[in-house]
Structure 1
Amino acid sequence: MAQLDKTSFQLPIENPAAEDFLPLLGTDYVELYVGNAKQAAHYYMSAWGFQPLAYAGLETGLKDRVSYVLQQDKIRLVLTSPLKSGGDINRHIDAHGDGVKSIALWVDDATKSYQETTKRGAESYMEPKTMEDDKGKVVVSGIHTYGETVHLFVERGDYKGVFMPGFRAWDPVYKPSDVGLKYIDHMVGNVGWNEMNKWCQFYEKVMGFAQLVSFDDKDISTEYTALMSKVMSNGNGRIKFPINEPAEGKKKSQIEEYIEFYNGAGVQHMAMATDNIIETVTALKNRGVEFLTVPSSYYEDVLDRVGEIDEDLEPLSELGILIDRDDEGYLLQIFTKPILDRPTMFIEIIQRKGAKSFGKGNFKALFEAIEREQESRGTL
């Protein structure tokens, strides 16, 4: 991996209530446990424009698993599958299907990050471990968060290799072009009934985060379903974790559906940022990615609600891209249908034109679109 200039991460404090004692420089990578990493890698390359970066498996000395590493700008995905029956990866896939196991956070000091979080009550997942090869060393540690999800702290300032020790460069002939995805804007976790505050307190106490915004069932509800959500962020605003829980409604909400099929709490979606959402979504649709749709009536009065925007409304309407505004500016966003067979994880594409919020004005239209999908699956 090209080494990123750390000076670019010395950002002004965006969330002054956060203690930011770690601190976190950004998202290092997201690891998904999947049933077939080779085929999953082909999907994320072909449909999503990720580029091949690194590989670890039998050829590199691993006997129990294989991992493919993909990258697009600052977004890195690690896709890991088991090579033998039994073991934790198989059990995880059997329980949850494909899904996010690790959210790896880039830090200056993985040992200090581990010590600071565990002394504040975090359950240890991995004590600090140093991995070395002729390209240098990487230190990794980890803690548990909601469900079976873990946070890894990755210290790579002394490493010049492609990804980390144990991996080799992966350079296949097939390299579809990227689609303009830049970085992970936020990652959303779904937790069980009445667990949202517990996990928000975890991020506040254990990791020094602070609440950016909250939404209750009056904000996020339709005639049939509702949920509650709070957004936790670190001080520099690079890491934002909205936490959702179900709320009472007439029918089964998307959060309940997720928890039923994922068998517990987990990552519901990754929001990936782009600088040109029209070009990105057009490319994704041309590659077969399916998005939720809203009625054309959404666009009849949307500009009355959000005011003037730079983009023409027609291509936004044709693609189904939603618009919302806050005191800082506006944003454009769209959500895929579940990208897995189980109705669990999906991906959001977001372009921020100054806005710091999460599209509150779109919640009703979005949730009605999700309910239409739930109804087609017979899970509403």
Structure 2
Amino acid sequence: MAAPARRLCHIAFHVPPGQTLARDLQRLFGFQPMAVREANGWRQLALRSGDAVFLVNEGSGSREPLYSLDPCHAMPSATNLCFDVADAGGSARALQVRGCCVLVPPVSVRDAEGAVTYTVVSSPVGNLSLTLLERANYRGHFLPGFQPLSSKIGPGWISHVDHLTLACTRGSSPALMRWFHDCLGFYHLPLSPGEVPDLGFEVTAASGRGGLRLTALQSSAGSAIPTLLLAESLPGAAKSQDQVEQFLAHHRGPGLQHVGLYTPNIMEATEKVTLAGGQFLTPPEAYYQLPDKERQILAAGHEPSQLAQQGILLDGSKGQFLLQIFTKSLFAEDTFFLELIQRQGATGFGQGNIQALWQSVKEQAARSKEA
């Protein structure tokens, strides 16, 4: 591998002035501001909940924002993943040898708490770039160049980033999997017994036409990096019925479709988000009447009526379950959403719930047209 990543430092977004993402993360999802930088036409605000850190770059300056770059993308979206590496300069050189474009050559930034070195390279996923950050000796609150807003971040509803889902063009998953393996050290994580890496895990649509291919990638042992999930459409689906194709159309290309945020108590977190004004996708009414769904929910130690009232999905078997719920898009352009997830021993991604999400997206699109 060219540049083995050790942990996810933060996820960066680029939004126009006045966009409400930073406020929504605080008001709806319990993220707390930790550091800010205002310079060269940019306002960069780092927000944190548990170990999950989002960096919102607002504006469009004449110079690149620190630790990222302006992608000049037509839509507000998640544009950058920042990974901790042992040697930023060496990583940039190694990736360049593999054909990656180094968008920002290695730069050192220093303050009274120490120094960091970072570089920004291209990824094969649309407008998504990768920042490789070397900060082993930095003692500060966030990163040099930022003013700390709080030295103590209290407990939030979110503990860490569970997974990152990349929406990809049809047929691209095998090449992307090899790129993340060769360049960053990710490995195939089977979602079903005997799964072939290049084929992934296929979920067919209820109509029998089309479906999704999911390919999960995990980092090497000892690192603290969320699972990457590659999602692409199978042939035959109508675009109005496929959330990946909808994302590609609205986002105008591949990118980070959603972030799965882990919460130790999904019912409490869902209630707080709802009370704060957050909106979730509503599961189809038939979901909780599926054969054996009530038995499955009871086996996991939950009340079917409570999950139905809150719209929380549950998947799993043999004593291993996960609960999940999906927000509506955080952008009017429908280019990014969040997932809340709680695991009870399960390591998958709710493959059995994908049909429900599919139907929810379809019904929401139909309601939008009627409105």
Aligned AA for 1:154?
Answer: L
The sequence identity of aligned pairs, in percent, is 24
Question: What does residue 126 of structure 2 align with?
Answer: 147
Measured after TM superposition, the shift of residue 277 of structure 1 is 0.5
Question: What does residue 365 of structure 1 align with?
Answer: 356
Q: How does 1:232-311 map to 2 (within 5 A)?
A: 232-236=217-221, 238-252=225-239, 253-300=242-289, 301-305=292-296, 308-311=299-302
Structure-2 change in CA distance of 1:136 and 1:350 (3 Å)? same
Alpha-carbon displacement from aligned partner over 1:160-196 (angstroms, at most 9, x marks no partner): 2221111111259xx9986410111111111223222
Q: Tell me whether 323-332 or 124-133 shows the greater mean CA deviation.
A: 323-332
Question: What does residue 195 of structure 2 align with?
Answer: none
CA RMSD of aligned residues (A): 2.9
Question: What does residue 3 of structure 1 align with?
Answer: none
Q: How does 1:158-197 map to 2 (within 5 A)?
A: 158-170=137-149, 179-197=156-174
Question: What does residue 30 of structure 1 align with?
Answer: 11
3-state DSSP of counterpart to 1:92: coil
1:49 aligns with 2:30: yes
Q: Tell me whether 343-352 or 115-124 shows the greater mean CA deviation.
A: 115-124
Matches of 2:86 and 2:62 in 1, distance apart? 37
3-state DSSP of counterpart to 1:181: coil
Question: What does residue 106 of structure 1 align with?
Answer: 84
Question: What does residue 48 of structure 2 align with?
Answer: 71
Question: What does residue 196 of structure 2 align with?
Answer: none
Question: What does residue 214 of structure 2 align with?
Answer: 229
Matches of 2:6 and 2:357 in 1, distance apart? 32
- Whether contact under 8 Å (1:137, 1:156) holds in the other structure is yes
Matches of 1:38 and 1:136 in 2, distance apart? 33
Question: What does residue 114 of structure 2 align with?
Answer: 136
* Structure 2 gaps, min length 5: 192-198
Query: TM-score, normalization: structure 1?
Result: 0.84
Alpha-carbon displacement from aligned partner over 1:196-249 (angstroms, at most 9, x marks no partner): 222112112222212113676851423265222211111237331111122223
Matches of 1:161 and 1:176 in 2, distance apart? 14
- Whether contact under 8 Å (1:190, 1:268) holds in the other structure is yes
3-state DSSP of counterpart to 2:159: strand
Matches of 1:83 and 1:143 in 2, distance apart? 20
Counterpart among 57, 72, 78 of residue 80 in structure 1 = 57
Structure-2 change in CA distance of 1:90 and 1:153 (3 Å)? closer
Aligned AA for 1:197?
Answer: P
Question: What does residue 124 of structure 1 align with?
Answer: 102
Q: Tell me whether 291-300 or 101-110 shows the greater mean CA deviation.
A: 291-300
Question: What does residue 334 of structure 1 align with?
Answer: 325
- Whether contact under 8 Å (1:220, 1:363) holds in the other structure is no
Question: What does residue 305 of structure 2 align with?
Answer: 314
Pairs aligned (count): 352
Matches of 2:237 and 2:303 in 1, distance apart? 38
Counterpart among 158, 178, 183 of residue 206 in structure 1 = 183
Matches of 2:103 and 2:70 in 1, distance apart? 18
- Whether contact under 8 Å (2:299, 2:319) holds in the other structure is no
Structure-2 change in CA distance of 1:91 and 1:233 (3 Å)? closer
Matches of 1:235 and 1:328 in 2, distance apart? 27
- Whether contact under 8 Å (1:227, 1:245) holds in the other structure is yes
Q: Tell me whether 153-162 or 209-218 shows the greater mean CA deviation.
A: 209-218
* Structure 1 gaps, min length 5: 1-18
Measured after TM superposition, the shift of residue 85 of structure 1 is 7.8
- Whether contact under 8 Å (1:122, 1:206) holds in the other structure is no
Matches of 1:218 and 1:135 in 2, distance apart? 49
Query: TM-score, normalization: structure 2?
Result: 0.85
Matches of 1:86 and 1:222 in 2, distance apart? 49
